[in-house]
Each structure stands twice: as C-alpha cells, then as structure tokens.
C-alpha cells in the first residue's frame, strides 16, 4: 500500500481542512493505514508557508489549505507550483464564487466560524440553568427565570425547558402534587412569564401507563388511575388560578409547538 501524506494548512485551527481530508481519505482507507495527516494551524505569513513547502518537498506530501486571505492563498499556490507540489485550495474557489454572486468583499479574517460569541454563552448558561432548576429542585430559581412552567407529572415540563433553553431562555419548572404545597416563590413570579401546562385525563392516563411499563412496574398503579389524575388536575387549576398565569393545553401538541406559543407570548410582552 502506497504511503499518503497530507499537510493541512490553515490560518485558524485547521479543523475544517482536517475534516474534509479525513472524509476523502476514508473513501480509500477507512482505517487510515499508511496515511499521515498533519496540521499546520495559525499560519500568519509567507515565511510560514515557505517552511511548510520545504517540509512537503522532503516528505512528498500533498498540501491542502484553508486560507481566507487572498494574498496568502496566491502565495501558497505559487510556492507549490514552483516546487511541483500537489495542492488543493478548499476555501478560495468558494469565497470567490460568493464574492461574485453577492457583490461583497470577504472579511479575510481567520477563525470567524469558531469564535464563541455572547449568544453562544447565553445558550450554554440557559441550558445549565434549566438543569439546575428542573423539577422544582431549587425554588430560588423561579425568580431568576425568563420562563416558569408548572404542571402535573408527565406534561413535558423538562423537555420543554430544555428546548426553550436552546432558544436562550432561562427556564425553571415546578411539578404540582396535591400533597405538596407549591413553593411561595411561585406566587411571586410575574404571571406574564409563567405558564401552566394542562393535559386531558385520557391522554395523561396513556402516558403514565406507558411510563410505568417502561420502568417495569404494574400499569394499574394509582399514579396512572383516572381518578388520581383528575385530583391532580383539580389541584393544578387552583394553583394556576392563584398565580394568574396563562394555561396551555399540551394534549395534542409537540414540544416545539408549545415552545412557539410561549416564545410568542414572551416576546410580545417585552
């Protein structure tokens, strides 16, 4: 088997070029036998390019590069052609195509796609918040949340919290059980950001039975009985009436649908 050496040259971390090279190599050598892929990241000037070209000559390597600055791309191409080194420019043709299509000049700034902006950190913070204040674990989070969800067990509070977190909303949720008094913080929350999730007795009965069976338990437990569900829903109605919050029927709604309703209400109230 013939040896294959590929140099991935980038003015950023080189992740894009490396992944493309691996995808292509895997079509010939899925286990990457007799193959060397070497990254040269953070290339900043022509001297760096000259050094890489020298090594490529010695090791008979192909050069694959992702350079956003046109001058550096041209210098790399000229250097490779001068030394008869095989090369592939992954970004240049695409950047040129976009430039002609939209009539705009590229920024030529390395690493833009990898920069972690404020929006990214807001998403991470929201996801961590949803985990920390899930299922009423810490009622202090209710007053810090952008959205508060209340409902009986198995009304999609947790998946809905996570979905909204990925949309950058800090969400806390509280399960309502007749035998347990809701935290006092719940009644201090702005009703405009609180949402009660309600579901039909029949639907919840099916969901809870499936849950019990998934846990290896008997599906006729009181948890899934219609009488118990109706008792819980009655308690739910009393609590949400006291809060004065909106109520969303999630009986036949996907998590995404419910989330869209909540986001629309929240944005309109701002």
pLDDT in tens, 156-214: 999 999 999 999 999 999 999 999 999 999 999 999 999 999 999 999 999 999 999 98
Query: Residue 115 pLDDT > 70, yes or no?
Result: no
Strand, coil or helix: what is 249?
Answer: strand
Q: Which pLDDT belongs to residue 116?
A: 58
Q: Which pLDDT belongs to residue 146?
A: 97
Q: CA–CA separation, 169 vs 270, rounded Å?
A: 13
Q: Does one domain contain both 154 and 59?
A: no
Torsion angles phi and psi, residue 132, rounded to 5? -65, -40
Grade residue 150 by pLDDT with cuts at 50, 70 and 90: very high
Please say which residue of 93, 114, 135 terminates a domain.
114
> Binding site: which residues?
151-158
Q: What is the pLDDT of the chain when averaged over all its residues?
A: 94
Q: Among candidates 160, 165, 162, which has minimal Cα distance to 199? A: 160
Q: Does one domain contain both 130 and 162?
A: yes
Structural domains in the chain (count) = 2
Query: Residue 65 pLDDT > 70, yes or no?
Result: yes
Q: Does one domain contain both 102 and 150?
A: no
CATH number (domain holding residue 190):
3.40.50
Domain containing 184: what range?
118-269
Q: What whole-number percentage of the chain has pLDDT above 90?
A: 86
Please say which residue of 75, 96, 114 terminates a domain.
114
> Binding site for ADP: which residues?
151-158
Is residue 189 within 8 A of residue 242, CB to CB? The reply is no
Q: Does one domain contain both 195 and 88?
A: no
Q: Does one domain contain both 82 and 181?
A: no
Q: Does one domain contain both 48 and 140?
A: no
Query: Residue 114 pLDDT > 70, yes or no?
Result: no
């Amino acid at each position: 088997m013939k040896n294959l050496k590929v140099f991935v040259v980038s003015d950023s971390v080189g992740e894009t070029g490396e992944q493309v090279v691996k995808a292509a190599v895997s079509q010939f050598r899925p286990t990457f036998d007799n193959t060397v892929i070497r990254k040269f990241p953070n290339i900043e000037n022509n001297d760096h390019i000259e050094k890489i070209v020298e090594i490529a000559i010695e090791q008979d390597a192909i050069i694959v590069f992702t350079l956003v600055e046109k001058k550096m791309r041209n210098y790399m191409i000229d250097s490779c052609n001068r030394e008869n080194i095989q090369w592939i420019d992954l970004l240049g043709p695409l950047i040129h195509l976009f430039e002609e299509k939209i009539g705009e000049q590229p920024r030529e700034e390395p690493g833009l796609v990898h920069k972690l902006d404020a929006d990214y950190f807001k998403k991470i913070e929201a996801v961590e918040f949803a985990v920390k204040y899930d299922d009423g674990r810490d009622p202090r989070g209710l007053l810090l949340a952008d959205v508060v969800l209340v409902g009986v067990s198995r009304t999609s509070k947790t998946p809905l919290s996570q979905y909204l977190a990925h949309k950058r909303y800090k969400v806390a949720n509280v399960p309502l059980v007749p035998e347990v008094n809701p935290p006092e913080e719940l009644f201090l929350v702005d009703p405009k950001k609180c949402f009660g999730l309600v579901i039909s007795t029949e639907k919840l009965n099916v969901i809870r039975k499936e849950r019990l069976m998934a846990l290896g338990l008997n599906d006729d437990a009181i948890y899934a009985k219609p009488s118990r569900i109706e008792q819980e829903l009655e308690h739910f109605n009393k609590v949400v009436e006291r809060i004065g919050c909106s109520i969303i029927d999630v009986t036949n709604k996907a998590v995404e649908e419910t989330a869209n309703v909540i986001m629309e209400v929240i944005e309109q109230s701002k």
